[in-house]
Structure 1
Amino acid sequence: MADLTEKSTAEKKREDLVAKVLAVSDLVQYQDGTVASRMIVFKTAGTITLFAFDAGEGLSEHSAPYDAILTVTDGEADVTIEGAPFTVRTGEMIILPANKPHAVQARQRFKMTLTMIRE
């Protein structure tokens, strides 16, 4: 029964965002020494998740079965895709290809939107 209540609460939070003008920077906050995240869309076709990285924090190398679009909303980070380095800054985006190892490391406090598209 608790699982149903938790799911309903999570779904309710996402529903509260629908049909409203949202300030992206207000939807996820920086937290000292960590990476904070907030999923705002979770559908069969894909997900949209917001992240806030404290300076020096990151996501270790991993891969995903679907393409993902990383859009920087604040700050600057280093991204590697199959070992190739990229720097992304506010207002820029990079496509992370499916099944290719990638990692993200914040150069400074950094916020991003990650849009994952499923096939």
Structure 2
Amino acid sequence: MSEYIKNIEHSTVLPLAEQVTYQEGQIVSKTLAQNSRLSLTLFAFDKGEEISSHDSRGDAMVFALDGVGKITIADKDYILHKGDAIVMPAQIPHAVYAEERFKMMLTVSFPEILKL
């Protein structure tokens, strides 16, 4: 049987924030699913770490699991706390910065690729 979601125990109730750990001076990521339509990744940012401005061909939703993060979308800043979520629209520059240690789940939904 295929597992479409990997690197996490199936059929078990798990504290999601505990599935990725903080590392001093680093950003730690754990990919849970990756295909042409979906990317699902857990992140743990040490305080002051960041993913610089970039864009994506898919809509990206950040769900804050722990700490405080700053999400910048098209030069506007948004502060996320545990339990908050925000969507970073496709093809709009965005960035993530850890105001404090910050854990998040990132879900990116990509458009279908049309075959001619």
TM-score of Structure 1 vs Structure 2, range by shorter chain: 0.7 to 0.9
TM-score, length-scaled by structure 1: 0.84
Between structures 1 and 2, the one with greater strand share? 2
For residue 92 of structure 1, the aligned residue among 65, 73, 84 is: 84
Distance 2:20 2:44 in 1: 6
> 1:16, CA displacement in angstroms?
5.4
Given the alignment of the two structures, is residue 37 of structure 1 paired with residue 29 of structure 2, yes or no? yes
Which structure dedicates a bigger proportion of its chain to helix? 1
Residue by residue over 1:59-88, the C-alpha shift from the partner in whole angstroms, topping out at 9 and shown as x without a partner, is 000101000100000011111101011111
Contact preservation (8 Å) 2:64, 2:83: yes
Structure 2: distance between partners of 1:74 and 1:112: 7
Mind listing any 5+ residue stretches in structure 2 that lack a counterpart?
112-116
Q: State the superposition RMSD in angstroms.
A: 1.7
Say which of 107, 110, 115 aligns to 1:115: 107
Following the alignment from structure 2 to structure 1, what is the Cα–Cα distance between the partners of residues 8 and 71?
32
Give the gaps of 5 or more residues in structure 1.
1-10
Identity in percent: 36
